[in-house]
A and B are shown apart, each in its own frame.
Chain A
Amino acid sequence: MAAAEGSGPGGAAKPLFAGLSDVSISEDIPVEGEITVPVGSHSPDEDYSTLDEPVRDTIMRDLKAVGKKFVHVMYPKKSSALLRDWDLWGPLVLCVSLALMLQGGSADSKEDGGPQFAEVFVIIWFGAVVITLNSKLLGGTISFFQSLCVLGYCVLPLTVAMLVCRLVLLAGSGTVSFIVRLIVVMAMFAWSTIASTAFLADSQPPNRKALVVYPIFLFYFVISWMILTFIPQ
C-alpha cells in the first residue's frame, strides 16, 4: 500500500527532478520518503491539530462556527453549511434563552398558566425529534442530528421576536402593543418556517415537501403562539 502510494507521486515528480535524483540520491536511500514529505505538509488536514493550540483559539473557533450559523439562519439562502457540520450549542443556547425569557416572573407566583421552563424546553426538543423522525420516515436523506441542528438554529428569529416582545411589554401593554407584537411574531414565525424549509427541503423527495413542511409549520406555530400570548406577571 505504501509502495503504491509512493510510486504515484514519484511517477508524477520524475520529469521535474530527474537529473537531481541521479546526482544526489544514492541507491540505498528510499526515494519515497523525500517525495511524500512535502505532500504531507501541504495538505491542510494533516497539520490540523488542536492539541497544542491555545484554549482561546479553540473557543473562538467554536464560537465563530456558531455565529456563522446564526448568520446563515438570518440570511436563509440555500447553503449546506448548517448541514455539513452540525452542532447543538446554538440550539441549546437559543432554547435556554427562550425558555428563560418565557419563564418571566412566574417562578414566585404559584397560580399561573404561564409556560414553565421545562415545558418550553420539552416542546422544542420533543418537537424537533418528532419532525426529524417524520422526515426520515417520509424518506428524507438527512441524518438525525443534522436535522435537529437546523431546527434548533431556526428558532433564532423566534428568540429575537421574544426579545422584542419583552421590550414592547416594558413600554406598556395595550392594543397598540398587542398589534406590534402580533406583527413581529408573525414575521419571525414566517422567517423561521421559510429558513428551516430552505435548509431541509433539499433532502426530501420533491413530491412530499408539503408533508414535511406541515409539522415544521405546526412546531413553530406553537412556539410563536406561546410567545405572543406571553404576559409577564
Chain B
Amino acid sequence: MSGAGAPPAGAGRGGAAADWGGFEDTMQAGGSGGAAVIDMENMDDTSGSSFEDMGEMHQRMKEEEEEEAETTVGDEEDGEFLGMKGFRGQLGRQVADQMWQAGKRQASKAFSLYANIDILRPYFDVEPIQVRNRLLESMIPVKMINFPQKIAGELYGPLMLVFTLVAILLHGMKTSDTIIREGTLMGTAIGTCFGYWLGVSSFIYFLAYLCNAQITMVQMLSLLGYGLFGHCVTLFITYNIHFHSLFYVFWLGIGGLSTLRMVAVLVSRTVGHTQRLILCGTLSALHMLFLLYLHFAYHKVVEGILDTLEGPNVPPFQRVARDIPVVSSVVLNTTVKVVALTS
C-alpha cells in the first residue's frame, strides 16, 4: 500500500505545503503564482503572435499589467506573423486568466479563513487560573440583583466543557449499549451537545432581546457554556455509579446550583418582574430538563424502549415455524405437569 502510495507522498507534500503551509505562505504562493502566469504569457507572446492579438490582449487585461503588455508589444514588432502561434497565445491567455482567477480565489479564501480566526481570537484570550476560577464560580450563585453582574465574554471554557460533555455522553451511550439506527453515536453526542449549547443560547438571547435584558450573544454562550460544568460533573458521576437517588441529589444539588447561578446573573441584568420570570423560568426549565434527559435517555430506559421498538424487526425469526410448536409444547408440558400436580 505504501509502495504505491509513497511516490505521490513527496509530490503531495510539496503541493499541499504550497497550498496550505501557513497562511502567509499561501498568500505568497498566490501572489507569485500570479506573477508566474504573467511571465509565461509574455514568453508565449514574444515567441511570435500577431500584433492585433497583442492589442486585443492589451485591451482585455489592461487593468492588470499595462506596462508589461506594452513592452511585449515592443518586442512583438520584430517577430514574424504566425497564425498558429496567435491561437496558442489566445489559449494561453485564457488559461492564464483562469489560473489568475483561481489563485486569487484561493488567496482570498485563505485570507478570509485567517481573518475569521483572528476575529475569534479575543474570545480565547484567557489564563488557566481564570478558567479555573470561572468553573468554580459557575457553581456559586451570587445574590446580587440590584447591579448587573459581570459576565466574561469568553469561549474557551464553554467549548471545552461542551467537548467534555460529548465525551461523557459517548461513554454513557456505550455503557448503556445504546443503538442508534440512523447515524452514529458520535454524531448524536456532538449534535445533542452543540445543538443544546447553540440552540438554547440563541433562544434565550432572543427572549432576552424581547424582555430587554442587557446581554450579548457571546455573553449568553459563555454563561450557558459554563453552566454545563454542573451537567458534566453530574453525568460523569452518575453514569459510573448507578443509583437513582444519587442522581436526584446531584440533579438538584449541582445542577440546581449551576442553574441558580445563571438565573441570578440573568435576573441582575433584567428589569421588570414579568420579564425576569419569563426569562429565568425558561432557562432553568430547559437547563434542568436537559440534564434529566441526558441522564435517562442514555442510561437504562432506552434499553426498554429499544426492546419494544425492535418488536416489528423480529418477523424473520417469527417466520420460523419451529418456534411456535416449541412454545406450545412447553406450554403443553407445563400445563400437563400442573394438571398432574394438582390432581
Contacts and interface: CB of A to CB of B under 8 A. Distances in A.
A31 interface: no
A119 to B, nearest CB: 5
Interface residues of B, number: 39
A111 B186 contact: no
Contacts of A111: 179
B163 A218 contact: yes
B20 A136 contact: no
Given A63-B2, A208-B127, A222-B170, A138 B21 contact: no
Chain B interface mostly? helix
Interface in B174-205: 174, 177-179, 184-186
Given A119-B184, A136-B117, A138-B156, A89 B167 contact: no
Contacts of B9: 62, 87, 89
A118 interface: yes
Interface stretch (A17-25, A139-147, A161-169): A139-147
A143 B22 contact: yes
B97 to A, nearest CB: 30
Contacts of A210: 128
Interface string A203-225: 00001101100110010011001
Given A143-B21, A145-B16, A211 B131 contact: yes
B21 A113 contact: no
Chain A interface mostly? helix
Contacts of A86: 13
Interface string A43-58: 0000000100001001
B167 A145 contact: no
Contact of B7 (A58, A144, A207, A218): A58
Contacts of A93: 2
Nearest to A96: B1
A113 B173 contact: yes
Given A211-B126, A222-B167, A225-B171, A137 B117 contact: yes
B173 A139 contact: no
A211 B21 contact: no
Contact of B128 (A118, A144, A211, A215): A211
Interface in B137-172: 156, 159-160, 163-164, 167, 170-171
A35 interface: no
Interface in B101-129: 117, 120-121, 123-128
Nearest to B123: A137
A215 B124 CA distance: 14
A147 B117 CA distance: 16
Of B6, B17, B21, B171, the most chain A CB neighbours within 10 A belong to B6
A218 B124 CA distance: 18
A134 interface: yes
Contacts of B2: 59, 62-63, 66, 89, 93
A173 interface: no
A187 interface: no
A109 B200 CA distance: 38
Given A93-B2, A137-B121, A211-B126, 6 more contacts: A50-B10, A59-B6, A63-B2, A139-B121, A143-B21, A215-B160
16 contacts: A55-B7, A62-B2, A62-B9, A63-B2, A63-B6, A86-B13, A89-B2, A113-B177, A122-B184, A122-B186, A133-B117, A137-B123, A138-B124, A143-B22, A214-B160, A225-B171
